[in-house]
Structure 1
Amino acid sequence: MKRSTTNIAIIFLLTAATIIFEISLSRLFSYLLSFHFVLIIIAFSILGLGIGQITYAKYSEKIDHSLLWWMALPSISMFLSFTLLLVLSQIGVSSSTDFGLPIFILLSTVPFIAIGIVYAHIFEMDKRHVSTLYALDLIGAATGALASIFLLNAFGLVEVVAIAIGLLLLALIIALITVKNRYSKILVPLVLVVIFLMGFAKDALNFDIPVAKDPSKDLYRLMANPALKSEKLESRWSAFGKTDLVKFTYPDGTVSKSMFIDGAAGTDVISIDELAKDTVEMKRVLYGFPGIFAMNFLSEKEKDSVLIIGPGGGIDIAATYFMGFKYIEAAEVNPSFVALMKKYNPSTFNDKENIKVHVNEGRNFVVENKGKYDAVMLTIPVTKSSRGTDFYGLTENYLFTMEALADYLDGLTEDGAIYFTMHGRQEVYNMLANFLELQERMGVGQLEALKKVYIYSNEMNPVLVIKKNPFEQKTIEEAHKTAHYYGLDKEPFYFPYIEQEGLDTIVQNVNYKWYMFDDLLYDISKGSYAYDELWKTASINLSPVSDDSPYFFNYNNGIPDAMTTPLWLGLFIVGWFIVNHVNGWRSVSFSENTSIYMQRKFRAWALISFLLGFSYILIQGYLFQILNLKLSNPSQSFSLLLFTFLLGNGVGSLLTGTFKKNLSRKLIVYSALIVLVSLLTVYVLLPIWYKQLSEFWIALFLLLPSFFIGIPFPVLLKTASSLKEKKSIPYLLGISSVAGVAASIFAIVISILYGYRFVFLLGLFGYGVVIMLAYRLKTLKIVHT
């Protein structure tokens, strides 16, 4: 029992450290690299766990012979890997170079391979307690997920990685104490000294990580500009990412400050008090803000309250303040952003009685304050930062779905309007597609719907204004005329009630065409085309975006370019499994004493293991997707959901420790319960209580299906432990791990193409196949050869 307790402690520390390191890597890469590279690297990294487990299965005898060295490898490799990643990013090695991406992938994967090897060894050496080990593995992962929030909010990224390494060193000490070896008496004090020194090196570890020399990063381009003198005033890490406040001095001596999230999406810091002192500067700054034009046509009763989603450095707040809004609220999802602004820009973010800035996800905040605002403003709220660890969905995707638009409309007073400032024409079209589809579902035709909309553009940042009720014709005529006067009539351009003007003539055999308004939008507003022609005729993806497939910034028809490499990885994993399964898992190298019957059983176990790993991720992905919208902070929401889900899995796995007989029957029963409970949760319980859900009830709802989801795999491991081959358990662990990596990739691809609900149903189908396979396994008879 003492040995088992030791193994449990090591597994707990290993998995907690793994999750903390995984989330830390996602934060590091989101800062150093373009966001679409994060998915590729992290997918390969997590694959390392499965590679490590299968590596142990193939070379267990050699690894066991030098076990202490392998036990030390996770902490050593994590330290070297993280150090080299920081060094390479600063000497110009970029993920966009031909050799840069493979180097980043390799360095990120090695620590996970090392952890996978130790993990598999412990499971193989303690088969009798496989259920308890697996339960503590899940509980350790849950602890790491929850701890990562507090650690990243309290410490710098380097310190958090050092804590993960410290946990691995503690696991090493436990192993050294347990293993009777002549080197233990020397190594235990040595490792303790290393941990002690790491604790005292807190200040040395809290150093600033410069942005990588990657041209895709706005911060790097500006700081590398020789014409600008730049100085970082302050940087802060959080669970959301890294926030930098930078001061720029221009050749003429003028100074500005800008904020950056993960080295991208720079936003100028705007001080209300400084603008109030300099009316010339005030006009320059405010006239450069596209959204301010629309505010000129609001009556006093339409300027009682405004909500700004993603206030940036304060330009939206300043604009609404000087345009006479009586009460201004802003919702910013990044806590570091708000903290730095309250410190360095208090006049805009803290000092005014009629201005209140909240740390909250904007859409969630609108829902909580239904029917309160005369205006809801979103001015390019895009950070280009990966959300949580889904690695593809940007934080802002959920701000721009049809359901989000419905939430904003519900958040308006009867005279209220939404003001979207976009990057370009395609974003305007996409949001219009959302609006027209939403209106159609509400019974409002396209002719009436487009009376609630007008669009103007300075050629760079078009503004889309959507009113809750149709605009008055007099207001539109005045705004249209003024837009022409100020040159805000560039494409895309549209105002209701106004007749189209154009030119279609031939000069010297050349056909010249010009139209005042966007021709397609105008024709839709007149009923010449059906509203869905807006996206059907487009060469890029402009179809309406829903919460079920929340990829507003995906303009690819079909699979996005950023998913190509991960998709190939997923297909490779599936292909690898199929080839091995067809060949009867010859790589397992069964001993001569292993019967054909047991080999057939292992083949069935391998298929069930793959299906369980695959279906687990699909169900998890869907549950996270529907519940995440009820939580107020994307990064913290993901970690909270992950903690709850893994905790429920762990408790379910602990239950399997009491299972002694009829394991195949229990595999059938609990897989069936997963299907039933998941359907009950998604289609009955959640619809009834969804609007009233608090964070406590979200956790409780997630615990229900997650408890049952945590049962089948440890039951399978208990079943497989009857096979005396020293490779069965590690192989099944590895198969499940690599299946999970493939499933995470396919979940994103499938949700883009067909929606998350299809992902959920596919996951349930996987458990259905497990039920059939387990029944066949139960009836499998011994075949004599």
Structure 2
Amino acid sequence: MRRLFAGVGLVTCSTLLLEILLTRIFSYTLYYHFAFLVISLALFGLGVSGVVLYVRSDRYPRERLEELLARHATRFALWTLVALVYVLYHGVTGKFDLFHKPQFTSQTFFELAMLYGVTAVPMYYGGMVVSLAITHLRERIGELYFFDLAGAALGCVLAGPLLYGLGAENAVLLVAVLSAAAAIVFRPRPEGRLPVRAALLAFALLALLGLNLLRPTLRVGSFKEVDESFVTFARWNSFSRVVVEERPDRRPAMYIDAMAKTEIHHAREVEEGGPGDEYMGAAGLVYAIRRGGEALIVGPGGGTDVVSALRAGHRVTGVEINPIIADEVMRERFAEASGGLYLRPDVRIEVAEGRSFVHRDTRFYDVIQATMVDTWAATASGAFALTENYLYTVEAFEDFLRRLRPDGVVSFTRWCIPPDMECIRVITLAREALRRAGVADAGEHLFAAWKGTIGTVLVRRTPFPPEEVQALLGATEERGLTPMYYPGQPRRDTIARLIRDPDPAPLADAFPADISPVFDDRPFFFYGVRPRELLAAVFDFDWLMINSFSVAILLALFAIVGLLVVAFIVVPLVVHRRDVLRERPLSKLRDLSYFVCLGVGFIVVEVALLQRFGLFLGHPSYSLVVVLCALLLASGVGSMLSERIAERRRLAGLVAAAAAVAAVVVAYAFLLPRAFDRWIGLALAPRIAIAAALVALPGLGMGLLLPSGVRLIAGRHPELIPWGWGLNGAASVFGSVGAMLVAMNLGSRATLLAGAACYLLALLAALRRPAAPPASPAGASAAAPAAEPRPAPRPGGSPAENAGVAPLTPPPPDANLTAEKKGDPSP
């Protein structure tokens, strides 16, 4: 039996790995919002597998379990290879970038549908493996759950190292190898042709992996802004693919996920001068008044801002979140091409997330600069506007101001393209941070200028003296910039009123996009849709630019998933079990609502925790691994503990667990920010330990609730188990989308409270149920009437859950992954 459990663990590990890897590939080959859409829909295949198993249970008898497990694991491996080949060379037509309005054609829809269909097939077969195991091995459901969750947690841990060491393409090939190996584990005896085929397939896939490592053939082609024929360096990690293009008569240029571009600058530009384009002119404005000091550069990339700071005589500290850029590109592979720019004694580069670094730093600076810091990359848990960014919040500006010397200046450069006007939102952030610092008139502390599509905002702790204002005005004229606002300007235009009026809210509301300040509780700077305009974005997204367009995709996903749930889960279950609700319908609906509440609650809490812990841990990859693994493993332990609860105390244990989860989540909603402020200065290892413990605490209870509830319901209405399983999977898909909508519009505190409310509703559903008669030790199906023609799948949770993966969820990073696993014990 342990052999079968180990095989299930291999499959769930492979399923979670495949989801993460496809998210990375799609972020490169598609525009980031489509990556989120396609992966979320593909994961729906996990839910469909459970329904297929239920309605066609006569085709999956217990006596053929090993053969069926091996057969579906083999198909998982084959279709993983097919999906890889297809997605590497197929994207979507049309432009969906910052400078183009989103346009859909029939070809676009066809291409997306094909990508969805191809990637859903391996997910379906992975889900079938877990569904079969849960159906026929239900007498040891607790132990099976543990292997299910442990496999998914292992996949989460392996994703980052495999991406970095093998690359996404080869890592997907390894997933296929693991799936074929699982088929061998399921059926090791040479009976028939299946074991031989599985062994041959595993060997062939392993050989293909080796050949592709030696001579890459299966690799991503040219997509978006990158021409692979000019690429001389490429490397994957858990949140990006960084490539370097070297074209004749141009500087080498880095691209992050084929869109965000930064050129590699040479150290000789410090003495000889750099380019005078609008980007350098606007971003380097601060150095017209600050020379010879300490400069902190957030996101130095290829060295644009580093060169500007060095030319002004500063010593530079650079904080780069991507280790590929900081180490492999700038300090190793292209050190000569950059003239050793990052190896100079007056340049110090730290690999960290900028906001987290500043919050823990104890030094003071004359200049803190952040220029166009973003990536247009789909993280593991979402995508850009759907992903939190703690660098652009009011609290972040408070941190920056605290790290300035008395006459220091913060310089932020952003796009200034209607309707989003990110540079104006930076102004509202700075104004609010200054107000909270006790500044009565923010107008004396701000200077802003723009040219073309770029705008720069300067913020000073103390008022700008008149001579500095004149120096800045002279620099703007020399560089061809247009002042947006400066202290003492005579005109009272919209920007001036936005800065100086006592109540700027009415003016902010007049802008087409939301420019109100954002806070750590709702750190979605790039989300420019007001809550009241949310529905309008679905029906008329022509006005949306690239960042907010992803919100329309999110809402469209919500509608599409609803249709798929009805077509592939609700309708088949109703058609094949239409007699289920004829007797005692209200009682049975309460039973079904229990599964729904658990499914929504688990994913909502998960999304909120991923967002909350992102800033505390200081790096998206840390947040993903720590939060997901802790949640999955704790849930697995909770699931096993549920078997130790005496039969007569199951209802009491269930109620206590639901109440405890709700209480802990509510406490986290109000106490985590204060606790993080106190602990964020600790070293990384203690912060990881604290985060794991905090996540595991509710995870234990969340893992206990599903199997406990299933045992209670199995004794009363065993025929509802498969239906509840399907509804749980559907609820998890809806919950992931709903959680992001709540987080973006109301904040993470509201998201946590919504998750707690779901667990309280599950508690009420359990309390309104009379105590169930003892269930047969053999499982729920044993309690079913003898006339029942099909065995009911053993309770365990939604197909998505039991597959070790739940729907993809946005930020946090990428990120789109424990949700996947959530299924296990948490409905």
Asked whether the two chains share a fold, i.e. TM above 0.5, the reply is yes
Structure 1 Cα separation of the partners of residues 88 and 605 of structure 2: 35
Match of 2:477 among 484, 500, 509: 484
Residue in 2 that maps onto 1:15: 12
Match of 1:608 among 590, 594, 597: 594
Structure 2 Cα separation of the partners of residues 432 and 92 of structure 1: 33
Match of 2:552 among 554, 560, 564: 564
Alpha-carbon contact 2:610-2:623 (below 8 Å) kept:
no
Residue in 1 that maps onto 2:674: 687
Alpha-carbon contact 2:376-2:384 (below 8 Å) kept:
no
Structure 2 Cα separation of the partners of residues 256 and 684 of structure 1: 49
Which segment drifts farther, 96-105 or 306-315?
Answer: 96-105
Q: Describe how 1:608-757 pairs up with structure 2 within 5 A.
A: 608-662=594-648, 663-684=650-671, 687-688=674-675, 690-693=677-680, 694-722=687-715, 729-757=721-749
User: Shift of residue 437 of structure 1?
Assistant: 2.5
Alpha-carbon contact 1:159-1:205 (below 8 Å) kept:
no
Closer, same or farther: CA 392–270 of 1 in aligned 2, 3 Å? closer
Closer, same or farther: CA 535–595 of 1 in aligned 2, 3 Å? closer
Residue in 2 that maps onto 1:311: 300
Match of 1:520 among 461, 486, 494: 494
TM-score by length of structure 2 reads 0.82
Match of 1:415 among 407, 412, 430: 407
User: Shift of residue 107 of structure 1?
Assistant: 1.2
How big is each residue's C-alpha offset from its partner over 1:732-772, in whole Å with a ceiling of 9 and x where there is no partner?
Answer: 43332221121111111122222222111111111111011
Residue in 2 that maps onto 1:336: 324
Q: Describe how 1:434-473 pairs up with structure 2 within 5 A.
A: 434-445=429-440, 448-473=441-466
How big is each residue's C-alpha offset from its partner over 1:623-676, in whole Å with a ceiling of 9 and x where there is no partner?
Answer: 121111012321342222211221111111121122340433322121111012
Closer, same or farther: CA 155–60 of 1 in aligned 2, 3 Å? same
User: Shift of residue 454 of structure 1?
Assistant: 0.3
Alpha-carbon contact 1:289-1:315 (below 8 Å) kept:
no
Residue in 2 that maps onto 1:499: 490
Q: Name the amino acid aligned to 2:658.
A: S
Residue in 1 that maps onto 2:816: none
Structure 2 Cα separation of the partners of residues 486 and 285 of structure 1: 9
Q: Name the amino acid aligned to 2:494.
A: L
Structure 2 Cα separation of the partners of residues 483 and 90 of structure 1: 41
Identity %: 22
Alpha-carbon contact 1:53-1:731 (below 8 Å) kept:
no
Closer, same or farther: CA 243–526 of 1 in aligned 2, 3 Å? closer
Alpha-carbon contact 1:386-1:394 (below 8 Å) kept:
no
User: Shift of residue 188 of structure 1?
Assistant: 5.2
Residue in 2 that maps onto 1:54: 51
Name the structure, 1 or 2, with higher relative contact order (CA <8 Å, separation 6+): 2
Closer, same or farther: CA 8–236 of 1 in aligned 2, 3 Å? same
Residue in 2 that maps onto 1:190: 200
Structure 1 Cα separation of the partners of residues 579 and 713 of structure 2: 16
Q: Name the amino acid aligned to 1:239.
A: S
Q: Name the amino acid aligned to 1:519.
A: D
Q: Describe how 1:158-197 pairs up with structure 2 within 5 A.
A: 158-177=169-188, 181-184=191-194, 186-187=196-197, 189-194=199-204, 196-197=206-207
User: Shift of residue 255 of structure 1?
Assistant: 3.0
Alpha-carbon contact 2:590-2:765 (below 8 Å) kept:
yes
Residue in 1 that maps onto 2:815: none
Residue in 2 that maps onto 1:244: 243
Alpha-carbon contact 1:256-1:268 (below 8 Å) kept:
yes
Closer, same or farther: CA 15–418 of 1 in aligned 2, 3 Å? same
User: Is residue 2:99 matched to residue 1:106?
Assistant: no
User: Is residue 2:28 matched to residue 1:26?
Assistant: no
Alpha-carbon contact 2:83-2:119 (below 8 Å) kept:
yes
The alignment partner of 1:266 has SS state of strand
Closer, same or farther: CA 478–87 of 1 in aligned 2, 3 Å? closer
Please list every run of 5 or more consecutive structure 2 residues that lacks an aligned counterpart in the other structure. 97-103, 535-547, 681-686, 775-784, 786-827
Structure 2 Cα separation of the partners of residues 161 and 126 of structure 1: 29
Structure 2 Cα separation of the partners of residues 723 and 349 of structure 1: 71
Match of 1:140 among 144, 151, 176: 151
The alignment partner of 2:183 has SS state of helix
The alignment partner of 2:389 has SS state of helix
Alpha-carbon contact 1:121-1:730 (below 8 Å) kept:
no
The alignment partner of 1:313 has SS state of coil
Structure 2 Cα separation of the partners of residues 661 and 21 of structure 1: 39
Residue in 1 that maps onto 2:817: none
Alpha-carbon contact 2:23-2:39 (below 8 Å) kept:
yes
Closer, same or farther: CA 161–585 of 1 in aligned 2, 3 Å? closer
Residue in 2 that maps onto 1:586: 574
Q: Name the amino acid aligned to 2:7.
A: I
Structure 1 Cα separation of the partners of residues 494 and 277 of structure 2: 33
Closer, same or farther: CA 82–582 of 1 in aligned 2, 3 Å? closer
Q: Describe how 1:95-134 pairs up with structure 2 within 5 A.
A: 97-134=108-145
Structure 1 Cα separation of the partners of residues 285 and 167 of structure 2: 42
How big is each residue's C-alpha offset from its partner over 1:67-93, in whole Å with a ceiling of 9 and x where there is no partner?
Answer: 253342211111111111123349999
Larger Rg: 1
Deviating beyond 6 angstroms after TM superposition, the runs of 4 or more aligned structure 1 residues are 90-96, 575-584
The alignment partner of 1:237 has SS state of strand
TM-score by length of structure 1 reads 0.86
Structure 2 Cα separation of the partners of residues 758 and 246 of structure 1: 44
Structure 2 Cα separation of the partners of residues 692 and 258 of structure 1: 39
Structure 1 Cα separation of the partners of residues 455 and 521 of structure 2: 27
Match of 1:260 among 255, 258, 265: 255
Structure 1 Cα separation of the partners of residues 16 and 634 of structure 2: 17
Which segment drifts farther, 364-373 or 341-350?
Answer: 341-350
Closer, same or farther: CA 685–481 of 1 in aligned 2, 3 Å? closer
Residue in 2 that maps onto 1:219: 226
User: Shift of residue 555 of structure 1?
Assistant: 2.2
**Structural RMSD (CA):** 3.2
Structure 2 Cα separation of the partners of residues 263 and 415 of structure 1: 39
Alpha-carbon contact 1:131-1:718 (below 8 Å) kept:
no
Alpha-carbon contact 2:173-2:209 (below 8 Å) kept:
no
Please list every run of 5 or more consecutive structure 1 residues that lacks an aligned counterpart in the other structure. 224-229, 501-517
Residue in 2 that maps onto 1:504: none
Structure 1 Cα separation of the partners of residues 756 and 449 of structure 2: 47
Structure 2 Cα separation of the partners of residues 261 and 196 of structure 1: 30
Alpha-carbon contact 2:414-2:455 (below 8 Å) kept:
yes
